[in-house]
Structure 1
Amino acid sequence: MHLVKIAALVTLAGLATSCTTTGGVRQSAGAETLPNEKALAFPPPGGPAIVSVVERQHKDDVEQTISLSTSSSVAGQNFLKVQFLGVTGSNPGLGSTPYKMISDGAIASEMAATIPGVRLARSATFVQNIYGPFGYASGQSRAGDTCIYAWQQIRAGRSVPVEQRNFSMVQVRLRLCDAQANERQLLSTVYGYTIAGGFEGEALNPYGAPRGAETLLGHPGDPIYPDPGGYRNGGTPIGYEPRPVVVRPAIVRRQTTVQPPAAATVAVPQVVGPRVPLPDPQGSVPQTGVTTVPAPIPGQVQPRMTAPSGTIVPSPDCIGDAATTAACRR
């Protein structure tokens, strides 16, 4: 009985001790969301815009998945993935990503996983951006959306130490689908993206040595002209000749005086002396007196006035004494 009491007391003490034990929570190593300005690669100016940046750090590499804005009915998210091999990460326990050469089978698996349901055809044309050659495949969905998948490996070659032959490189993957853009517009993103990261060690530089200056610089016998054509090959001829003076005719400006229109002249009716009244067509008795002749209308021919029938107008030769007038009446 005594032993049972001792065991019970020990059990209660253990329970009390376990209830008072405290400890912190440790976050597992994995992905980390970064601000957009911390991206190691950026799309060209004008888009597509960066939505989020997720980074994964390992022992010897750093990988970022930069999500881009997507306007497409194809399942999936547009992204620009960049992986730096040859840098020490903050999580050594995760190890490093093994080096893998780009193969047809690996690219086919990546395209099927990132752009499902769209049949992509690889381009056989050799293309190259500022970082070197790259490959891409393009296609259209049933809804008419255009998609491309591009891949590029930036590597300067083997470094001096043999142990570093599998490092000092940058792997790039780009997935773009858009309902409005065509293949050429999407391909411009591959030509215009910028890598904003690099390696601290000179031996781990994946971009190679910077290109030297042109051999013509500072070399005698090779003039350099400001225009592409220069003074040769049909360009500007050597020698200075003043241009002839171009005499331009003087421009004479005449002032036109506008005269006001002449006032319309109104014809004043003329008063004609006593004449023999004309017979009235209605049979009324004509009235004697002064007859007013209306003013002539321009452009019209006035009718000639004739004497009424039965009236004898004497000739001027017959006007005179009584003997002459009697002779004319005969």
Structure 2
Amino acid sequence: MRFLAVSTLLLSLAGCSTVSDPFLETGSIRPDAPPLSSDVAPDFAAALLPAAGAVESVRQTVRDDDLEQTIVYANATAMAGENALTVRIGLPGKGAAFRRAPTRGAILAEMRASLPGVAMTIEPAPGGNMHGVYGYATGALGASGSCLYAWQYVKRIAPAAEATAVGQWRAPAYAAQVRLRFCDPAIPRERIAALMDGLRLKPVTRETLDMLRFAAGNGSIRAKAAPVVAAETVSVEPRRVAKRSVVAEEPAGESAAVARTVRVPLPGEILAEDDKREVKVAKVPLPETTAALD
């Protein structure tokens, strides 16, 4: 019985020692923090739109297999809102947005939110660029300007090396949803859709998303120029002045009375003895010059 009790005790102790304690184990921990939107340099833009002008800023949010960028261009109109190209890139498994084109109802809701007060008309004939067809709507803006809202679904964005059958089988098939909101006071309505013709999406792989994730926060901040303060100038004119007035130390707010005066001699002039008084001025040395100062 004694041997049986000792054996049972040892087995129970051995069993306790095999219980896993997560606080005593080590290993790599994957952070589960929400993705943050950040500014990056224009060089990291996922799309190019040459006819739209220079890029003002690029805002992006990178997730595991999902990227969203807002590429902002200058807005020369008085309308509120940004001229922006929005690009969303992800795997088809991330949602319906990466599996099919948007519906008409979704586009109408997006246009009302992006262009309030502008009468937009969806054009029946779609446009086309190097990535396929795209839909668009236009609206008049003032006497000669117009607004454009365009949308496009690109089924696959991949480098040329992955365009083969083997490359498509091995690499993830990233798709893209593109939106363009652009208003200009000088481009007529019949020509503004040409902006979308020049769209160029950059090839995207898993390594591209990793690079953009580490590029977050590298955007440049435009520092405001310091205000230029004009230096105070003093006009110096040599002329005969009997006496130069110097304000002595007095409490603020009192009348500007001349406390003491001192005679500033001109070349060749001899002062009287009573004019050679020593005047005490608050930390303001007299200039060493023969010219009289106002």
Greater RCO, 1 or 2 (C-alpha within 8 Å, sep 6+): 2
Larger Rg over CA atoms: 1
